Amino acid sequence: MSEQSFKEQAFAALGTVIDPELGVDLVNLGLIYDVTLSPEGVANVTMTLTIVGCPLTEWLAGSIHDALMKVPGVKSIEVEITFEPAWNESMMSREAKLQLGLH
What CATH number is given to the structural domain containing 71?
3.30.300.130
Question: How far, in Å, CA of 78 to CA of 64, rounded?
Answer: 10
Question: How far, in Å, CA of 56 to CA of 68, rounded?
Answer: 18
User: What pLDDT is attached to residue 52?
Assistant: 82
Mean pLDDT on 18-24: 91
When divided into structural domains, the chain yields a total of 1
Instruction: Give the domain range for residue 70.
Output: 3-99
**pLDDT per position as a tens digit, 33-73:** 999 999 999 999 999 998 888 788 888 999 999 999 999 99
What pTM was estimated for this model as a whole?
A: 0.89
Find the angle CA(59)-CA(50)-CA(82) to the nearest 5 degrees. Answer: 85
Instruction: Give the chain's mean pLDDT.
Output: 92
